[in-house]
Amino acid sequence: MKHKKESTMKLGTLCPNLNLKLPSSDEQNVSKFLTKSGTFVDGDLRVNKYGVRIPPLIQPLDNQICLADFDAIKVVGKGTSGIVRLVQHKWTRQFFALKVIQMSVEESTRKQIAQELKINLSTQCPYVVLCYQCFYDNGAISIVLEYMDGGSLADFLKKVKIIPEPYLAAICKQVGTLGREVKITDFGVSTILASTSGQANTLIGTYNYMSPERIRANRHGYRSDIWSLGVILLECAVGQFPYSPPQEEGWTTVFELMETIVEQPPPVAPADQFSSEFCSFISECVQKDPNARRSANELLTHPFITMFEDLDIDLASYFTHAGCPLTTF
């Protein structure tokens, strides 16, 4: 055992030649380590007034972990073929999301699940929810994922009701350029966003955001995702699903909703509530003809996105303080 060596220096008068030189301006300048929002960044270390973020103790694809190493805390999500639980690693006390998917599903769904696994396991990117390990047992696949304690967009929207335009623009830009505060997950297996219409959420699911051509089973490409983006953004802006059900009790069948999306005019942003730039952006996204929709690259240069570039928008702080993070217990 090593002990700290005692100092032999005695107290006395200061040396007359002692030079108490202040650090040079270059030494004092830490701006190169700071982001616009005042976050200190050095490699994987990120520190701001709200705390510190460092790499996790357990790394992705850690073959030393097994299902028995986790304690289940609570259910945080459900789907038609699976469930997501918050779990805690017994030894490191680190939290994870454990997605358990029953494989007794249609062949097409199994292929989707396999595709998600391939993408998850081949992607180690700070902008995609990390996959740490996966297991197959008793007819179910269990996927150990990074736990995003800020919740989903649907969780956040329930708390704040609406999201202001500057933050919607920042979200769009981060999704388009892979930002750190908004992460991608699920890759088409689970729902995109639970409807805020409050009616038949479990029945409708992702049909809310399907483009007309997908509903018609026509050929579709990435422009179908542009439609989905427009509908989701408008829902975030107005606080409710932008299509109104034909009766007060809400959507009674999924076919009723699908018929509305196909037959009715596309939703619009109310001009008296939003900027002309936002209204134009939504319109560019939800054109019934997919060829008339803007591409993702074109949308990133749209005035709605560029008009807020001079603002120092800190999405991480907004998500944290506008809607409290999900509790772990």
* Binding-site entries for ATP: 99
CA–CA–CA angle 284, 126, 99 (5° rounding): 90
8 Å CB contact between 171 and 313:
no
Measured CA distances, 187 to 66, 144, 192, 231, 268 (Å):
24, 16, 9, 18, 27
Alpha helix segments (H runs only) across the chain: 25-28, 107-122, 153-160, 165-177, 201-204, 212-215, 223-238, 254-263, 276-285, 296-300, 303-306, 315-322
Q: How far is it, in rounded angstroms, from Cα 305 to Cα 166?
A: 8
Q: How far is it, in rounded angstroms, from Cα 293 to Cα 222?
A: 10
Closest CA to 121 of 200, 129, 285: 129
Structure tokens at 325: 């993070």
Output the known binding site. 99
Closest CA to 130 of 190, 70, 50, 56: 56
56 CB contacts (<8 Å, ≥6 apart)? 94, 146
Structure tokens at 307: 């008009």
